[in-house]
Amino acid sequence: MNVTLPPDTKPWTWSEETWRQVVSHVRAGRSLKPGVWKDGARFAVALSFDSDHETNELREGGRSYSKLSQGQYGNRSGIPRILATLARHSVPASFFMPAVAALLHDREARSVADAGHEVAIHSWIHELNSVLDYDTERDLALRARDTLTKLTGREPKGMRTASWDFSPWTLKIVREMGLLYDSSLMADDEPYELLDEGQPTGIVELPVEWIRDDAVYFGMDRFKGLRPHSGPPMVLDIFLRELDVAAEEGGLFQLTMHPHITGHRSRIFILDEVIRAAKAKGSVWFATHEEICRYCASEAGLSARAPSVDSSRS
Say what percent of the chain tops pLDDT 90: 88
State pTM to two decimals. 0.94
Write the pLDDT tens digit of every residue in 13-39.
999 999 999 999 999 999 999 999 999
Does residue 238 carry a pLDDT above 60?
yes
Instruction: Give the H/E segment covering residue 202.
Output: strand 199-205
Arithmetic mean of pLDDT, 194-204: 96
Whole-Å CA distances, 163 to 8, 96, 126, 242, 251? 26, 12, 8, 21, 25
Residue 221 binned pLDDT confidence (cut-offs 50, 70, 90)? confident
CA–CA separation, 179 and 201 (whole Å):
11
Q: Give the Cα-Cα-Cα angle 164, 170, 119 (nearest 5 degrees).
A: 60
